[in-house]
Amino acid sequence: MKPLICAGLFSLLLATPAAVAASAARPETPRTMPVLVIDDTPIGKTPVVTSYADALESVQGSVVSIYVSKNAPDNALARQIFGENFPGRPNLEESGLGSGVIVSADGYILTNNHVVAGADKIEVSRVGDQKVKATLIGTDPKTDIAVIKIEGENLPVVTLADSDKLRVGDVVFAIGNPLGVGQTVTMGIVSAKGRQIRLLDTAETKGYEDFIQTDAAINMGNSGGALVDAKGRLVGINSAILSTGRGEMGGSIGIGFSVPVKLATNVMENLIRNGKVSRGYLGIDPDDLAPDLIGSFKLPPNSKGVVVTGVDTEGPAAKAGLKIDDVVVAIDGKSVGSKAELGVVISQKPPDSQIKVRYFREGKEDTVEVTLANFEDDSGRPNELLAGVTVAGLTPGDRRKLRLDAKVDGLQITAVSDASDYSSKLKPGMVVTRINNDPVTDDLPKARKSIQKGINRFYVYVGEKITVLGIDVK
């Protein structure tokens, strides 16, 4: 049987799409950034250990179970045959289970995007505690990272390690709630670093993968849980497995993947601060350096790097002087051996930041400073006007149902997530006809551009009349 790459929670989420492009919820008011506990020293050499209980005891309290539910699509055929209120009509709700890690005493939790993607309700429970409501702070499908928050003070938190200092062979532990049996700890080693398995690639966009591979058992329900080192420090967020089975039959065979905590916290800080992930843009078309081309580029033997095959003439790289056939070998002193690795490095740099690009041209090594631009990308939320607010163009049927005048145009709100910051004002069925001074048509990208930071005037058609709502966008 061919191996199957599957994210640990996908089948447990039933019809909840694993790769739903969920949005990052923009905060109503500026949020206070969480205080993180960090220990970035390498694990080092240690004597023989007969138990890791002391190291794991402190972290177990910070690993939580996450329960999500989503309203299932209505069954139009059943309504047509049996009526709106036929006896025994099922509760149209889908549910799923995952894990998460508390990283700050005031309740910020790291988990996977695919755990909470598309969820209408999110609840969290610690070991032995009741479920509590969680708020979606934001999601990033490109790294499979999400941030949620629960209310609380002095909550148990995990200490963060520097995942860049992990070495193949380091002992690690996976902690989560596999298959809903309860919190479970499994043990293994770091099998590899920097894995790119194209799990996060979609038809519209490419993900940023830099996975830690481990043989610690990861199963469905472990998604979003902790990967910790022998000191009990968080090194990764468990995300996926490679399995020979399919669906719920796909269990661990010792090939699991975790998002490095350094990448995860970079995403988290962006989501908390801005409600979305802002990434730098270099402006080149990269390709991997093939070994048989090292000589033709006049590079030292065994060189690794990225060949510039195209340059955005108005982009940062071109303005800094980079050209086609340059070979980029390092960014800010960090070696880059593939275009995927280059993408991950640049993705963690904020727009307007300055980076040092080391490259070869005609066999001569040089370094240039580049000021990154902003990487514009709406592929992660193709049908959303605002975070958690899904819209669609008006059909003739919609117009008849809403009794819309032919002169009224706009975008109909089809769904609003309970976790969205805008759920208190914007409701399904409303038609957004104007934003500030701009009329709204079925052109969603154009409508997004009408939205500004601060208070926006949303003119919505509801109850057969136009109402003006003030929507605060941070």
Q: What confidence score (pLDDT) does residue 307 get?
A: 96
The answer to whether residue 164 sits within a structural domain is yes
pLDDT at 399: 85
Residue 317 shares a structural domain with residue 295: yes
State the pLDDT at residue 368: 96
Q: What is the largest CA-CA distance in the chain?
A: 78
31, 170: one domain = yes
**What residue type is 398 in one-letter code?**
D
pTM given for the model: 0.68
Do 125 and 227 lie in a common domain?
A: yes
DSSP per-residue codes, 67-129:
EEEEEPPP-HHHHHHH-TT-TT----EEEEEEEEEE-STT-EEEE-HHHHTT-SEEEEE-TTS
Choose among 208, 313, 248, 189: nearest CA to 9. 248
Residue 297 to residue 293: CA distance in whole angstroms: 6
CATH of residue 143's domain is: 2.40.10.120
If asked whether residues 140 and 262 sit together in one domain, one would say yes
Please check whether residue 49 lies inside any domain of the structure. Answer: no
Helices of type H across 275-409: 316-320, 339-347, 396-402
CB 263 within 8 A of CB 143: yes
Q: Greater confidence, 14 or 94?
A: 94
pLDDT of residue 82: 40
pLDDT at 418: 77
Tell me which of 4-13, 23-32, 46-55, 378-387 is least confident. 4-13
Residue 133 within a domain = yes
Per-residue tokens: 93: 């709700």
Q: How far is CA 72 from CA 15, 16, 180, 378, 472, in A?
A: 8, 9, 22, 25, 30
User: Taking 70 as the threshold, does the pLDDT of residue 250 lie above it?
Assistant: no
What pLDDT is stored for residue 15 in this prediction? 35
Tell me whether residue 463 is in a domain.
yes
Q: Tell me, yes or no, whether 438 lies in a domain.
A: yes
What is residue 379's predicted lDDT score, i.e. its pLDDT?
53
Q: What is the DSSP string of 167-225?
A: -TT-EEEEEE-GGGS--EEEEEEEEEEEE---SS--SS------EEEE-S---TT-TT-
Domain edge (last residue) among 274, 305, 325: 274
Handedness of CA 406, 408, 412, 418 (dihedral sign): negative
Q: Are residues 127 and 70 in the same domain?
A: yes
Q: Is the pLDDT of residue 347 over 60?
A: yes
Q: Are residues 152 and 267 part of one domain?
A: yes
Verify that 132 and 239 share a domain, yes or no.
yes
Task: Work out how many domains the chain is built from and give that number.
Answer: 3
309: amino acid identity, one letter: T
Residue 310 lies in a domain: yes
Do the beta carbons of residue 200 and residue 142 sit within 8 Å?
yes
Q: Which residues pair with 310 in a beta bridge?
A: 285
Q: Which residues are catalytic?
A: 114, 144, 223
* 360: CATH: 2.30.42.10
Last residue of a domain, one of 228, 254, 274: 274
Mean pLDDT for the stretch of residues 238-262: 81
* 426-449 mean pLDDT: 91
Sign for the CA dihedral angle at 26, 32, 33, 36 comes to negative
Q: How confident is the model at residue 365, as a pLDDT?
A: 95
To the nearest 10°, report the CA torsion of 145, 149, 155, 159. Answer: 20
Answer whether 208's CB lies under 8 Å from 194's CB: no
Residue 410 in domain: yes
Is the residue at 50 inside a domain?
no
71 in the same domain as 11: yes
Question: What integer is the mean pLDDT of 261-277?
Answer: 92
Residues 28 and 103 in one domain: yes
- Among 244, 274, 304, where does a domain finish? 274
Closest to 432 in 3D by CA, of 471, 382, 400: 471
Out of 153-157, 201-205, 463-467, least confident range: 201-205
Residue 57: how many CB atoms within 10 A of its CB?
Answer: 10
Q: Are residues 396 and 368 in the same domain?
A: no
pLDDT at 1 > cutoff 50:
no
- What pLDDT score was predicted for residue 11? 34
pLDDT category of residue 80 using cuts at 50, 70 and 90: very low
pLDDT at 136: 94
Per-residue confidence (pLDDT) for residue 356, from 0 to 100: 97
* pLDDT band at residue 10 under the 50/70/90 scheme: very low
**pLDDT, position 335:** 93
Instruction: Locate 71 and state its tokens.
Output: 């309203």
DSSP structure class, residue 12: G
Task: Supply the pLDDT for residue 256.
Answer: 93
Nearest residue to 116 via CA among 382, 345, 375, 387 = 387
pLDDT tens, position by position, 83-104: 455 445 455 566 788 999 999 9
Please give the average per-residue pLDDT across 151-173, as a whole number. Answer: 94
Same domain, 238 and 311: no
Tokens of 143: 């790294």
Which structural domain range is residue 388 located in?
384-473
Q: CB within 8 A of 367, min separation 6: which ones?
A: 356, 357, 358, 359
Average pLDDT, the chain: 85
**Is residue 473's pLDDT more than 50?**
yes
Say whether both 13 and 112 belong to one domain: yes
Look at residue 159 and tell me whether its pLDDT is greater than 90. yes
